[in-house]
Amino acid sequence: MTLLISQERKVRNIKVSITKAIQERFRPLVTTSFTTVVGLIPLALNDPFWEGLAFSIVFGLIASTTLVIFVFPSYYVMVERTRELRNKLFEKISNLVTN
């Protein structure tokens, strides 16, 4: 998703880039996680030996999918804004030093 955002960012602003990247990656991300979760449910419910591992994987996939869809875009915006502020600050400092 980061690659898609970076490619779109060359043409558009950050919010439009993130929205477009999420729209493109939403279905593959959710369907992959969903099919894996559905495939692990019989293992989690029928085999006591693998029950703990299966439930851990299921809830880990659910949590990571949710985080990627909802939290990652906010984190990306924060990192990009911090990077822009840092670049502006370094530019001002370099202008002060050279003048």
pLDDT digits (tens, 9 = 90+) for 53-70: 999 999 999 999 999 999
> What does the pLDDT read at residue 37?
94
Residues comprising the chain, all counted? 99
| DSSP-derived 3-state class of residue 12 | coil
Average pLDDT over residues 4-27: 80
Per the structure, the count of domains in the chain is 1
Whether the model clears a pTM of 0.85, i.e. scores above it, the answer is no
Please say whether the beta carbons of 43 and 35 come within 8 A: no
Domain region containing 79: 2-98
